A and B are shown apart, each in its own frame.
Chain A
Amino acid sequence: MRVRTAAVAAVAALSLSACAGGGTPAGSNSAAAPSGHELAVPTTPVTITFEEAMTIGTLKPAMDKLVADFQAKYPNITVKLQGDPDYATMYTKEKAEVQAGNAPTIGQVYESWASYFQSGGAITPISELAGTDTPPQLAGFYKGVQKDLALGDGKNWMWPFNKSVLILFYNADMLKAAGQSEPKTWDDYATAMKAVSTNGVTGSTIDPGTAAGAAFGTQWFEILTKADGGALYDADGTPHLNDAGAVKAMTYLKSLKDAHALATGKNYPGETALGALKGAFDISSAAGYGFEKKTVGDKLTLGISALPSGPQGAVNELTGTNMVVFKNATADQKAAAWAFMKFITGPEEQAGWAAASGYLPVTPQALPQMQDFIAQNPYETAAVSQLDTAFALPPYNWIFKCQGYEATAIQDVLDNGAAPADALKTAQDACATAKTQG
């Protein structure tokens, strides 16, 4: 009986292997040559799907409005939103849908996710949609946004969606009481953090991220590293996680922790602590403004500023995602998807989207239509100005793993008291191995 069972299993495995056809390349992961012709907006009824995570708070109505506006202009095109509660769930679903041959037409992606999808020949290059790798709309985007759309082959595979940078939220009343002012440099920030950390208050609480994904604490470390002159990664994704700048940045974090001015947590801990009057600062996405405001209510005067500067000047990192069009869409769906992506990144829609969602407009052409919003939210001017210079990590799929190693190193230093150089050496070795494995 046992022999029979084993035989059945072996036959099943072999039959599946035959189905899988492993080892015989059948897909393409290279961009097709530009046709020179942009896909025309279809005139017959078309339905496209969009896998997205704009499902909570003010994001959902903002997303719904984009779709409603588009459908009003193109009544023959129906956009079905496939909402997910968070990015991790969305990525898992997108992968499962591609594997099942049932990918959405459009999906939100981080750069490393797009690289992974490209490696499986699952997405469509922009050139196939626009007829060129550099459609005219591209030049209208902020420079940092423009650079964030290409993958390792140098060609554009993504189109911008919900972009942002990190900004500093703080309890202005607490700073005033401690005799501190808005920090302009990271040294100022450390001084202010230590000054307010008394009577049960910890300057800031960060989420360092986990091995399964980065969080704002991970990005703060990356920003500090760049501000201290560190490289982090070469353009080809080669890691430098334990260079002098990275060690200096990690040492900075450790000194704050040792001074009881920094704590770690999860589930937006900085925002929670700020609202509970147990924290003075929170480094978070500009898109988190609505959430921060709701959390603190009338309990304090919420200050907002651009991130402090380091020896290398003002450094910021792009947050948020881009869009890709999946390969298994029909020609009409791809054409409709391209029309949708161009429409929602146009100046008028971006102005409305940015004001309603808190994300930053991807084009400065939206700003003239946002004057009322900017007057009420002065931080917006400083935040959008950083979209020209904000960096993005190289678009390779191992970077996703490496950010997990960065997060683990931060945990090891802040939670276990490990030496920064040792923790980062471990992260560097693991990341270099991940790069080798591809």
Chain B
Amino acid sequence: MLATVLGVTATTTARPLAVPGRPARRRNQARDFRTTRWGWAYSAPAVLIFATFVIVPTGYTFYVSLWKWNALNPAMSTFKGVGNYQRLFAATQPTFLSSVWHSLYFSGAMVIGGTAVSLAMALLLQRGGVLLNASRVALFVPHATPVIATSMIWVWIFNPRFGLADWVLHSLHLPTSDWLQSSGSSMPAVIIYSLWHEVGFTTVVFLGGLATLPNELSEAARVDGCSAWQEFWYITWHQLRPVTTFVVAITAITSLQAFTQFYALSGGGPVYATTTLSYLVYQEAFVLSDTGYGAALAVVLFAVTVLFTLVRRRTAAGSESSLV
């Protein structure tokens, strides 16, 4: 039965059959246009902006990473070659690997937790109605707020002596926590805040995906005797794979680059427990004025992000081809 359902899924969600040759010709036409002078002229403003604010700074950052950089007077900088990259593995406060681990810890929790929670919320809210529509708005509102402002509020919510979080736990006769004051609980606290702030956006993405799904497959599955869980697992979520891939990729990339909540909530502490790679870049380059080392960290962060992007592209390509 499930094989039937899966078979139906595979054929019914396939894209309309393309006329052989047509899309290829369209692509060729596009490519041809891009190589004309008009093509270059039209794309020049975008290329210029991209080059100015992305490509050149990226190249410059790599260049700076090779120096003991005197940001106040670059002429007084001294060439270090790969010295700053060697320091990555010699540093102890914090160690480079610990900051990588904190980045992965945070990103993993956000990807898994954020995707699961937002998918669950989307399923709950997809039916519509006044109350559910209001709930959608309420869920999205945190995402519309500035991270720096709400982080400052959450600092007080997490205050172990006067905060709302411990008051609620205490009222429910549950064990309280030191939240941001303890190395063990500070990262979970930042994750709780980040989920609160981000889930609204990813829920809306899932809601958008759910709105495009045809009902026929679900009805057929129910006729075939699928349980609600089987219907979700084999029909609904299967069709949402491209959306899920998008959510996972976006969440992973934004989580790797997350900074503001770490800056405002925990300052990377206590004892570097929330010092992620992106926070460490800021701290070394802009607070401690160790610009060359900070640039080396930024290059590594760039490489990790590129890696994630390539994985996403490969995964996305795989998920799309599986539906064709």
User: A22 CA to B69 CA in the complex, in Å?
Assistant: 8
Say yes or no: is B73 at the interface (Cβ < 8 Å to chain A): yes
A397 & B289 in contact (Cβ 8 Å cutoff): yes
User: A396 CA to B69 CA in the complex, in Å?
Assistant: 17
Chain B interface residue number, banded: 35 or more
Bitwise interface map of B from 41 to 78 toward A, beta carbon under 8 Å scored 1, else 0: 00000000001000110111011000111111111111
Q: Which residue of B lies closest to A400 (CB)?
A: B288
Give the residues in chain A near B271, CB-CB below 8 Å.
408, 411-412, 415-416
Q: Which residue of B lies closest to A23 (CB)?
A: B79
Q: Give the one of B90, B94, B178, B289 with max A CB within 10 A.
A: B289
Partner among A10, A99, A210 whose Cβ is within 8 Å of the Cβ of B71: A99
Chain A interface residue number, banded: 35 or more
Bitwise interface map of A from 403 to 438 toward B, beta carbon under 8 Å scored 1, else 0: 011001001100110000000001101100100010
B93 & A426 in contact (Cβ 8 Å cutoff): yes
Q: Give the one of B62, B77, B94 with max A CB within 10 A.
A: B77
Partner among A10, A92, A415 whose Cβ is within 8 Å of the Cβ of B270: A415
A122 & B75 in contact (Cβ 8 Å cutoff): no
Given contacts A16-B63, A408-B271, contact A430 B76 (CB under 8 A): no
Which residues of chain A from 233 to 276 have a CB within 8 Å of any chain B CB?
263-267, 269, 272-273, 276
User: A117 CA to B218 CA in the complex, in Å?
Assistant: 68
Say yes or no: is B305 at the interface (Cβ < 8 Å to chain A): no
Say yes or no: is B283 at the interface (Cβ < 8 Å to chain A): yes
Q: Which residue of A lies closest to B266 (CB)?
A: A210
A9 & B74 in contact (Cβ 8 Å cutoff): no
Say yes or no: is B28 at the interface (Cβ < 8 Å to chain A): no
Give the residues in chain B near A29, CB-CB below 8 Å.
76
Give the residues in chain A near B67, CB-CB below 8 Å.
22-23
Q: Which residue of B lies closest to A264 (CB)?
A: B181
Given contacts A27-B73, A99-B72, A117-B72, contact A92 B161 (CB under 8 A): no
Say yes or no: is B315 at the interface (Cβ < 8 Å to chain A): no
Bitwise interface map of A from 25 to 48 toward B, beta carbon under 8 Å scored 1, else 0: 111010000000000000000000
User: A99 CA to B67 CA in the complex, in Å?
Assistant: 17
User: A405 CA to B92 CA in the complex, in Å?
Assistant: 11
Give the residues in chain B near A163, CB-CB below 8 Å.
none
Say yes or no: is A376 at the interface (Cβ < 8 Å to chain B): no
Q: List 30 A-B contacts (CB under 8 A).
A: A5-B55, A9-B58, A13-B59, A16-B59, A16-B63, A20-B77, A22-B74, A22-B78, A25-B76, A26-B75, A95-B286, A116-B72, A119-B76, A120-B76, A121-B76, A210-B268, A211-B269, A212-B287, A213-B287, A263-B161, A265-B161, A266-B180, A266-B267, A401-B288, A408-B270, A412-B271, A415-B271, A416-B271, A426-B92, A426-B93
